[in-house]
Amino acid sequence: MSRHIHGAFDVKMNPQAADEGASDGLGRMRLDKRYHGELEASGQGQMLAFRSAVAGSAGYVAMERVEGTLGGRRGSFVLQHSGTLDRGAAQLDLNVVPDSGTGELTGLRGRMSIVIAEGGEHYYDFDYELAEAP
C-alpha cells in the first residue's frame, strides 16, 4: 500500500563533544524526537553538522532510528538525513534506509520531508509504501 501522512513532531538536539582534532565549524548532536499522528513513535539518532562562516550556509547528515507505530503497525525503521543550506536555500533528502524495517514495518520504503513553521513548530510529510498485512 502507498500512503501519504502528515503530522507534528517534537525534537530536542543535545550537543555532544566534538571528536579530537575536529575542524572549526563541525559539530555533533544527539537527536531525540517524538512523532505524533499516524506515525506515533520516538526517534533517536546522531547528527554531524557544519556551519559555514557565510551566513545561511551549512550542511548536516544524520542517522535516526524510529520506533513505534505507523498506521497502526508496530516496529522500527531507520531514517537517513542529508541536508544543505546554501545561503538560505534549503535542500533535504530524508529517506527510509532500505530493509531497515522491523516487526510489522518489515519492507517499509519511504521518503519524508520536514517543515518548520514560523513559530518553530515542526511537521513531517511522509510518503511510504508497505506491503499489506498478512
- The pLDDT tens digits of the residues spanning 83-112 come to 999 999 999 999 999 999 999 999 999 999
Domain count, the chain: 1
Query: What are φ and ψ of residue 130, in 5° steps?
Result: -150, 130
Q: Cα(93)–Cα(71) distance, rounded to whole angstroms?
A: 23
Q: Is residue 95 part of a domain?
A: yes
Domain range spanning residue 31?
2-129
Mean pLDDT throughout 37-55? 95
Q: Is residue 113 part of a domain?
A: yes
**CB neighbour list of residue 85: distance below 8 Å, 6 or more residues apart:** 56, 57, 58, 59, 91
Given 3-state DSSP classes, what are the helix, strand and coil percentages for the chain, each rounded to the nearest 5?
Answer: 0, 65, 30
Q: Is residue 134 part of a domain?
A: no
Unique residue bearing C-alpha cell 517543515: 115
Cell numbers of 15, please? 550537543
With a pLDDT cut of 90, the percent of the chain lying above it is 84
CATH number at 79 reads 2.40.350.10
Q: Is residue 98 part of a domain?
A: yes
Query: What pLDDT, in 10s, does the model give residues 72-83?
Result: 999 999 999 999
Q: Are 56 and 81 in contact (CB under 8 A)?
A: no
